[in-house]
Amino acid sequence: MDEFFRILGDRMAQIMFAAWGALCAFIAPMFPFVIICTLLILADCYTAWDLSRRVKKKYPGQATGKFKSQEMGRVFVTLIKVFAAIILASMVETIIFEGAQIHLANIVAGAVCFWQVWSILENESSCNDAKWAKVLQKVMVDKTERHFDIDLSELKDMSGSKDAEINAIFGNSGASINEPNKDTNDNANQG
C-alpha cells in the first residue's frame, strides 16, 4: 500500500511539474512585456507618492504625504489586469489570428506603456512650479486635488446647504438656483 502512494505521489509531482513547464513555456514570450509594464506601473506609483509629498509641503495639513496601503492594493489590481490583458492578447494572437502578422501583445503592452508614461508626466507636472511643468499642465490633468485629505461627499453637502441659503435669501422657497421660479413663469405666460 505504501508503494502505491509513493508511485501516486511521484506521478502527481510529474504532472504538476509538466503543467508548470507548459505554463512557463507559454508565458515566456510575454515576459519582456510584463517586466516593462511592471516597471512603468511601479514608476507611476513612485511619482504619485512623490506628488503627495510635494502637495504636503506646499499645502500643509491638506495631505499626508504618505503611501497608503489602499493605494498599494490598487497597484496590485492594476498589475493583475495588465498581466491578464497581455496574456489574453497573446492567446488571441496565437490561437485566433494564427498566421496573421498582428502582434496584439505588443499593441497591448504599448498602450499600457503610453498610459503609464502619461500618468507619470501628469504626476511630475502637478504641483510643480517649473516652466516645463506649466507647459505640460496645459494639456494634462493636474492631480494635486486627488492628494488632499478631503471627503468629496462633504463638499457636495456644503454645496447643497449653500443652495438652500441662497434660495432663502432670494425667496425661491426650496427651488434650486438653476431651476426657474414657477410663479414668475406662470405670470409671464398669462400676460
43 burial type by CB count under 10 A (0-12 exposed, 13-18 middle, 19+ buried): middle
Q: Tell me how far apart the alpha carbons of residues 72 and 185 are, in angstroms, rounded to a whole number.
A: 55
Given pLDDT bands bounded at 50, 70 and 90, which one contains residue 1?
confident
Instruction: Give the model's pLDDT for residue 64.
Output: 75
The three-state (H, E, C) secondary structure of 124-190, written as one string? HHCCCCCHHHHHHCCCCCCCHHHHCCCCHHHHHHHHHHHHHHHHHHHCCCCCCCCCCCHHHHHHHHH
Q: Which three cell numbers mark 163? A: 443652495
Top-confidence residue, 128 or 155:
128
Instruction: Give the model's pLDDT for residue 115.
Output: 94
Residue 187 clears pLDDT 80, i.e. is over it:
no
CB atoms within 10 A of CB 150: 11
DSSP-derived letter for residue 59 is S
In tens, the pLDDT along 97-141 reads: 888 888 899 999 999 999 999 999 998 888 888 888 888 888 887
Check: pTM over 0.85? Answer yes or no.
Answer: no
Q: Tell me how far apart the alpha carbons of residues 184 and 143 are, in angstroms, rounded to a whole number.
A: 43
Given pLDDT bands bounded at 50, 70 and 90, which one contains residue 66?
confident
Mean pLDDT over residues 57-84, rounded? 84
